[in-house]
Structure 1
Amino acid sequence: MNALPSLKIKFEDYQLGLTPPVSDAHAKIGVAASGPLTPQRLTRGTQAQETYVGGPLAGAAAVALLESSPVVCVRVPTTVAGTRGAVTRTGVPAGSSVMSVDGDPSDSHRVSVRVTRPGTVAAGDAAVIVTVNGEDAPERAVPVNGVLSIPGTGMTVTFAAGDLLAGNTYAFSSTAPAATVADMIGALEALLSTRPDLRYLHLIGVATPTLAAAVDAVLTERQTRNYYTHALLEARPIGDGETMSDYLAAIETQFANFTSTRVSIALDGGQTYNPLTRRMEARSSAWKLAARRAAVPIGEAAYRVRTGPHVAMGELAFNAALIGSAGRFAALWTLDGREGIFTAAWPTMAPSGSDFGEVQRREVIDRAAQIGYIAALDYFGDSIPVDTTTGRILESKALAMETFIEGRVRTGIGSNASGIRVRVNREENILSTEHIEFALSVIPLGYMKHVTVNVSFVNPLLAALTPAAPVTPATGGS
């Protein structure tokens, strides 16, 4: 029996060479007042407060969401309680009442209590103004029990029996609650186990070389699984009375033996507006650096001035411009002739001479690796015709593979690099090894990191009269 004529439709996929977009999300890992321990994807600052109530994680997420969205947050259990510093009293003469501090700090705070109306605790006729992180609260009377709560800090102050004299100021600071290295790394590993689409990570809280090394180990291991990202950690804040030069020297000494092409350390920042507390708070530069980076192209230098100053910032605690260096660390600075605060640098902790010493090169090469891997998967398991004389890959096939992969990577990188080159190893004995190798090379963008402007007078008349250089006659020949 003769078969009837037929026509069939078959759909062929993966013909457009589509590449996944660059992720606009970054992750934050740290402690918070409360909330779930599982990753939460936030797109509005109000969600940070609804989810975590307060604390460093909530504040950092809210700050970031002023500039970029979304932010993936992971809360780590608070296993290291915040500490309350000693109270110092200034003013002469000094009142006899002594102030003490109680409670568990919710975050890092700088608190001062200034006596504005004299009196005694027993009479309840004294008054004070409480200042938290530079923000004055309305004047308050000191009750007869001497106890005043400090909203938003988790702490109370108590004035012992005695007199309070106008002009006396009681000051102290607190450190934020924190997590152990094991808990931070556990949260990081749990997050990355799902291969989330993230551009980078921000670990909140004071970093040590131990934590930095542990983060580097996790990210390096993930690299072997074709998952590429990098992390920004926070150095300790500058100490009371510590100069900027001494602070930078101390941080350089602390991390002198640590290197990583996937981890960056951010220095102290400055007064940063927290939309949750509606206060200016002393924060690491990482809070503003991480907020900005997700909103700019991967090939853009972190220190690009035209991107503009950071929003909602006050005075810097560490200003790289004032000492002319940020060392190996990410930092902020001010620029003569420009209002606002800008990014001074965002290097990785790479060893000297590394190609991956700046954040934009780290992100561009990771993007190339990501797209190169996806493109190469299309050839996984393919049969390859070989030259019947040499046994090596046919030139036509090698050229086709180079064109395909180069096109995919160029599309994925876009204007974030100067060019892409792909070269197939034509010397491979593929019949024996069943192996093929590509060399994927990225020609990066150049960056105007050092600029020289030569300034001089010029006399147009003299310039016009300058004789042309003499022509040297040709020699030889006949």
Structure 2
Amino acid sequence: MPIPSVNVAIRDPGLGIVEGPAANAQCVIGVTSQGVANTFYAYQTISDLVSNLGTGPGVEAAALALSIDGHGSVYLVRPQTSVAGSNSVVTPSGSGPLVAVSGTPLDDYQGVVRIVSDGAVGTATFVISLDGGDNFSSVITTAASYPIPGTGLTAAFPAGTYVANDTYSWNSLAPAMNVTDLVAALDAAVAGTPRFGILHIVGAPATAIDAATLAASVEVKLQEIAASKKRWLRALIHVPDVPDASLVSAFGNVAASRVCACAGFAETVSAVSLRAYKRSSGFAVAARVGAAPLSEHLGRVASGSLIGVRRIYRDEAVTERLDAARFTTLRTWVGRQGYYITRGRLLAPAGSDYQQIQLGRIADVACTAVYDRLLDYENDSVRVYPLRDAKAGRILESDARAIDTELEAVLKDVLVNTTPQHVSDVQARVVRTDNILSTAELRAEIAIVPKGYLEVIRATIALTNPAIRELEAA
């Protein structure tokens, strides 16, 4: 006989498809330049975040989330980084000596050195950009070796004559975690006392196949956490900047209803440095999820364009393919400025109720509320019908009804009696047909009626002649 336990499962499907206090809290798992690996950190301000953890993709993702009005609590776990950082070959444009870049980058950079004035080393001057040329430093005098502040990188200027307006470009990738590193970081995240509903796993794997493997691994881990830790989470992952066909092929057989794969990249303004970096759409999506009401469709136009997104490199409204393949993408709308989320897609299989993240988040909040309430009944007693009754051994109707009422009350507290209201209705019903004396088991069925979402809107406009209508009426 198993030890006493309370188990809550999500039934899927149920819709027939052919906010608790922690609902908006998110935990970022991402690389930082400072801090202790696999340690759970909590922040409310960007200044504290930067002071303690320095720089890096994880810091940038957490800072963007903290910069959005209405954000929930932001936590961060710095993972081990088994994948080394790297710098591409420097590409010159001009006739001067070849500048070299070395070191371990602390973040992802699109580096550009531009010569400002001619001359030899020690005389020629230059400016440097880390965001592809959008923002440059003040003028610097060349030297044989120049440590680029706050990056972990060093630029080397060999002897020779430098020519004004020559440029030297390269890309840097920060160190990254592998799946083993991620699993250890996830364990550290759920070992923390505060609850959170959203995981933002920062960093795109090198290939589409690697990203699909990551999605499947994260799904297995989140299902395990739900079963063993009673923590119901949805995760956002990044996918690489590769052709759509590669992503569609790699993810075709992935079934991960707890994972949101964010495709496409955007020029995203750093909440720390105000530079604009090419980042995964996951940065903007995670920031929006952390501030949006629990039940809000992530593509809701009335909520406004995405904060911090200066431009997008892939527009689902122009190239309509990845949304249908269950990726979360960014898009434009004719007549509106800015950039928007198409849908908050989850990698759920066909027929699942949980095709979109807001529905998954609603279910997760319900699971937490029901678990907490049912735990109070663990090893408690209920009355059953007596021997001479046809329902002998089954739970007494009055006791069952009392539990129904309590469960509905807690569900209404987090889903119905809220502003905004997150669902249309809830219902809880204890199963009356089980012989409690034989099984020592109580079962309850929870039904949630979600809100409807207006994804396709049609209007018909026609010219009309009032005089003709009057004649027809006569």
The answer to whether residue 155 in structure 2 is matched with residue 157 in structure 1 is yes
Residue among 254, 270, 274 paired with 2:270: 274
Q: Tell me, in whole angstroms, the C-alpha distance in 2 between the residues paired with 1:195 and 1:66.
A: 24
Q: Tell me, in whole angstroms, the C-alpha distance in 2 between the residues paired with 1:268 and 1:126.
A: 39
Report SS of the residue matched to 1:288.
Answer: helix
How do 1:131-170 residues align onto structure 2 when only pairs under 5 Å count?
131-133=129-131, 134-143=134-143, 145=144, 147-170=145-168
- The answer for the alignment partner of 1:198 in structure 2 is 196
How do 1:89-128 residues align onto structure 2 when only pairs under 5 Å count?
89-90=92-93, 94-121=94-121, 124-128=122-126
The one-letter amino acid of 2:456's match is H
TM normalised by structure 2 equals 0.86
Q: Tell me, in whole angstroms, the C-alpha distance in 1 between the residues paired with 2:119 and 2:167.
A: 14
Contact 1:112/1:131 (<8 A) preserved: yes
Residue among 223, 227, 234 paired with 1:224: 227
Residue among 427, 431, 439 paired with 2:437: 431
- The answer for the alignment partner of 2:7 in structure 1 is none
- The answer for the alignment partner of 1:382 in structure 2 is 381
Alpha carbons of 1:61 and 1:172: their partners in 2 closer, same or farther (altered >3 Å)? Answer: same
The answer to whether residue 67 in structure 2 is matched with residue 66 in structure 1 is yes
Per the TM alignment, residue 195 of structure 1 is displaced from its structure 2 partner at its CA by 5.5
Q: Give CA-to-partner distance per residue, 1:405-426, whole Å, 9 cap, x none.
A: 2222122212211111223322
* Gaps in structure 1 of 5+ consecutive residues: 1-18, 239-246, 469-478
By relative contact order (CA 8 Å, sep 6+), the higher-ranking structure is 2
How do 1:63-462 residues align onto structure 2 when only pairs under 5 Å count?
63-67=64-68, 68-90=71-93, 94-121=94-121, 124-133=122-131, 134-143=134-143, 145=144, 147-194=145-192, 196-207=194-205, 208-225=211-228, 226-237=230-241, 247-327=243-323, 328-380=326-378, 381-386=380-385, 388-390=388-390, 391=392, 392-414=394-416, 415-462=421-468
Alpha carbons of 1:462 and 1:370: their partners in 2 closer, same or farther (altered >3 Å)? Answer: farther
Q: Tell me, in whole angstroms, the C-alpha distance in 1 between the residues paired with 2:112 and 2:377.
A: 66
- The answer for the alignment partner of 2:9 in structure 1 is none
Contact 1:269/1:331 (<8 A) preserved: no
Q: Tell me, in whole angstroms, the C-alpha distance in 1 between the residues paired with 2:253 and 2:371.
A: 33
Q: Tell me, in whole angstroms, the C-alpha distance in 2 between the residues paired with 1:298 and 1:79.
A: 35
Q: Give CA-to-partner distance per residue, 1:384-430, whole Å, 9 cap, x none.
A: 23164211333343333323322221222122111112233222233
The one-letter amino acid of 1:251's match is L
Per the TM alignment, residue 232 of structure 1 is displaced from its structure 2 partner at its CA by 0.7
* Gaps in structure 2 of 5+ consecutive residues: 1-18, 206-210
Report SS of the residue matched to 1:405.
Answer: helix
Q: Give CA-to-partner distance per residue, 1:342-387, whole Å, 9 cap, x none.
A: 2222111111111111000001111122222233334432222316
The one-letter amino acid of 2:400's match is A
Contact 2:306/2:338 (<8 A) preserved: yes
Q: Tell me, in whole angstroms, the C-alpha distance in 2 between the residues paired with 1:314 and 1:305.
A: 17
Structure number with greater Rg is: 1
The one-letter amino acid of 1:209's match is A
Stretch of structure 1 that moved more, 208-217 or 219-228: 208-217
Per the TM alignment, residue 135 of structure 1 is displaced from its structure 2 partner at its CA by 1.2
- Count of residues in Structure 1 that have an aligned counterpart in Structure 2: 435
Contact 1:402/1:422 (<8 A) preserved: yes
The one-letter amino acid of 1:74's match is V
Q: Tell me, in whole angstroms, the C-alpha distance in 1 between the residues paired with 2:377 and 2:464.
A: 63
Report SS of the residue matched to 1:161.
Answer: coil
Per the TM alignment, residue 172 of structure 1 is displaced from its structure 2 partner at its CA by 0.9
Q: Give CA-to-partner distance per residue, 1:288-316, whole Å, 9 cap, x none.
A: 21112122221111111111112222111
Contact 1:262/1:348 (<8 A) preserved: yes
Q: Give CA-to-partner distance per residue, 1:4-28, whole Å, 9 cap, x none.
A: xxxxxxxxxxxxxxx9634432101
Q: Tell me, in whole angstroms, the C-alpha distance in 2 between the residues paired with 1:215 and 1:156.
A: 36
What is the RMSD computed on CA atoms of the aligned residues?
A: 2.2
Q: Give CA-to-partner distance per residue, 1:86-143, whole Å, 9 cap, x none.
A: 12223xxx4151222111111111112223333344xx44333322202122233323
The one-letter amino acid of 1:213's match is A
- The answer for the alignment partner of 2:57 in structure 1 is 56
Alpha carbons of 1:69 and 1:394: their partners in 2 closer, same or farther (altered >3 Å)? Answer: closer
The one-letter amino acid of 2:97's match is S
The one-letter amino acid of 1:36's match is V
Q: Tell me, in whole angstroms, the C-alpha distance in 1 between the residues paired with 2:425 and 2:36.
A: 44
The one-letter amino acid of 2:111's match is V
Stretch of structure 1 that moved more, 103-112 or 450-459: 450-459
Q: Tell me, in whole angstroms, the C-alpha distance in 2 between the residues paired with 1:151 and 1:373.
A: 50
Contact 1:333/1:344 (<8 A) preserved: yes
Contact 2:97/2:158 (<8 A) preserved: yes
Report SS of the residue matched to 1:205.
Answer: coil
Q: Tell me, in whole angstroms, the C-alpha distance in 2 between the residues paired with 1:399 and 1:36.
A: 50
